[in-house]
Structure 1
């Protein structure tokens, strides 16, 4: 048994939390639990349920030079993420049983729990996929996004109906390519804002509206990935779908292209500052269901190209929770809202009934944070294989301790479980052992 004493929860309550480390469960939550086993003094610290990042690309198999399950999950653990959901656009794409099994074998190296989404292409095999512990379908590209996995509407409709029969959520990448601005393609490759001008805000809203319309016809559970505009969020909620917002759309805008260059290229693209502010308002007021990172790392060499040639995507799994906690520290968000955006709501949307809260009987996925310990984000300090971040120089509140199923998977130098100076060769803390458990397994 391990007892975390005098911890402050997101709602302000000060409690003791007892953890059955052998079972990986929270054994008790109360104001004064009886002494039993080892203990951690968490006076002045915030104890949160671990973040469930419902949208990552850990790149294996096929793109190991960008990221691996080992490096991506280390980065997740160091950022307070205890569960990730990996998307299917790997090589081979996760569209049949063999591809799922290959990815699951690689995921055994993960330091955090994981879910694997099944993909939809003309060659997909839904019978084989749904015979495996697939968490959801998606990221399903209703309109062409990356060039290799966009599908026609009839196939999208078939996938929605099949997922509904299997009680699975469909996660949608919604951009209508018919509404992209071909005029923007004439702009120079060093005009970084051309990417945002090309992939218009109208293209997102129109595709969201169509996706939720098809979903409603099938009585399906539709979840819209990385909504980047207030119009997209409003279309999702009006249609009864859930939606996520990424940290890059929440904290960056087209005004940042001068500094980011092609390192700020992603799909959907960065939007205007006015739209970014409106998006933040919807995150703060409860309209948006969750924050998910769309962690999609590429090497520096790959990103250092023209705006028309650079690959789309940025890393973010290690910095999402710290950025949100910084906003809570500055009182722009409540800690309860951070908890709901990162844990409670993702658990509810994806049916992870044993996760997402600090409650007796639930899995002990926990993050311990000093809420006043704000620090500068630097790419060289992060653990993703790509070694860079679009949030360079911004402030974040990083965890002291991350626990998955009652086991410590990350502890920094200030953690009560790690001696000063750390015990890991990285000199900034220590990692535990890989967990590698499928949340549907």
Structure 2
């Protein structure tokens, strides 16, 4: 089926017609011919589908939190047409067999996808690099708080192997040696929303991030590897990445939330890295606007309400975000705080370039017809009950976002502004 978007406004301000055939953009300009389906864009904004390079869809092992079907539905409703899943599932994606298992589950996705491999002391690089790997993803450098943590020697070995395979290394950069252990003594001991959630930010210090970024880029430089810093939460972390020649991402929760929100969020605001001061949040936003930040990725990490209601030191870290990333950024663009072109670049164009997706991330002839149509004036309140993630809550409750009127993956409508359309048909971007 061919589709023609008439009078669509692109991020650069041009108004033009965009024609799609057989899943590919075939013409961008002034199309006078008919199509099987004509969408009157009426100068609404047409963007390339967002590529979220950092999600945790929880399968295998934790389907009570999220599944590929529910997570991808959430992505489509938020204008995300490609996702990249991280390796810390159960079992972790550190062997070829584990990779194949996750890939079989990903066939239940409504959007296109990639799968990252990871590193633990039990990893099998020979079988892992033999797969269509998206990246060596969320390698936990000096992070002692999870099963994926590795020491400096193994990190260096992994980076060297990744460089040989020409694979990007996505690093979770926090130096656990710099965590403030005295913060535990300051914890009020509350549970759920009664916890002193700001203690978590005090515990996982900003200094721990910058130090780990510096170490990661040093190892990368020694092996000529491509280092990408995940969920950079501080301006110091961004500056260290830029100075070291690495790329970096920031998350919506670090852009739109700060320690000033900790009391209201309680344990629902616990994530790694944690929320930072309002001053640091504002500086991080400015670096995004100025171009120092390469991409925005969500670190979509849903947990059930029951899990999040545990005490601060027992509740799991992470928040959902794949459905609200683009709407939050578009709302800020609507206000004039950031250019639409910049939103397009950090959510699509730059991501495709960074992770070698030559047919995605642009509205141009020959590119995949992954498209999002939005009315910038049609903003609405974000409510967890309205979102599609299985977890049913959001840290952005009550904020305003601009949501898609239409989301297409490969030229086919997957979200019509109200409902998910069709059965899962997402494809592996590394096939």
Bin for the TM-score computed over the shorter chain: over 0.9
Shift of 1:306: 1.4
Partners of 1:145 and 1:267 within 8 A in 2: no
Question: Is residue 2:203 matched to residue 1:213?
Answer: no
1:265 pairs with one of 255, 264, 270 = 270
- Residues 311-358 of structure 1: CA deviation (Å, up to 9, x unaligned): 000000000000000000000010000000100010010001110000
Question: Is residue 2:243 matched to residue 1:238?
Answer: yes
Question: Is residue 2:268 matched to residue 1:274?
Answer: no
Question: Is residue 2:13 matched to residue 1:12?
Answer: yes
Partners of 1:250 and 1:279 within 8 A in 2: yes
Shift of 1:224: 0.2
Q: How far apart, CA to CA, are the structure 1 residues paired with 2:177 and 2:37?
A: 60
Q: Following superposition of structure 1 onto structure 2, how do residues 35-434 of structure 1 map, counting pairs within 5 Å?
A: 35-144=34-143, 146-188=145-187, 189=189, 190-412=195-417, 428-434=418-424
Partners of 2:56 and 2:86 within 8 A in 1: yes
Matched position secondary structure for 2:182: helix
Partners of 1:89 and 1:119 within 8 A in 2: yes
Matched position secondary structure for 1:182: coil
- Residues 225-257 of structure 1: CA deviation (Å, up to 9, x unaligned): 000000000000110000000000000000001
Q: How far apart, CA to CA, are the structure 1 residues paired with 2:179 and 2:429?
A: 37
Cα RMSD between the aligned structures?
0.9
Q: How far apart, CA to CA, are the structure 2 residues paired with 1:38 and 1:344?
A: 26
Matched position secondary structure for 2:316: coil
Q: How far apart, CA to CA, are the structure 1 residues paired with 2:304 and 2:144?
A: 20
Matched position secondary structure for 1:305: coil
Shift of 1:37: 2.7
Question: Is residue 2:8 matched to residue 1:3?
Answer: no
Q: How far apart, CA to CA, are the structure 2 residues paired with 1:169 and 1:403?
A: 28
Shift of 1:131: 1.2
Matched position secondary structure for 2:364: coil
Shift of 1:145: 5.1
Structure 1 gap segments, 5+ residues each = 413-427
Q: Following superposition of structure 1 onto structure 2, how do residues 11-30 of structure 1 map, counting pairs within 5 Å?
A: 11-20=12-21, 23-30=22-29
- Residues 136-162 of structure 1: CA deviation (Å, up to 9, x unaligned): 001100111542111011111111111
Q: Which residue of 1 aligns with 2:192?
A: none
> TM-score scaled by structure 2?
0.97
Shift of 1:307: 1.1
Structure 2 gap segments, 5+ residues each = 190-194
Count of residue pairs the alignment pairs up: 424
Q: Which residue of 2 aligns with 1:420?
A: none
> TM-score scaled by structure 1?
0.95
Q: How far apart, CA to CA, are the structure 2 residues paired with 1:373 and 1:106?
A: 35
Matched position secondary structure for 1:258: helix
Shift of 1:429: 2.4
Q: How far apart, CA to CA, are the structure 2 residues paired with 1:19 and 1:4?
A: 8
Partners of 1:407 and 1:432 within 8 A in 2: no
Q: How far apart, CA to CA, are the structure 2 residues paired with 1:36 and 1:371?
A: 26
The 1:139–1:33 alpha-carbon spacing in structure 2 relative to 1, beyond 3 Å, is farther
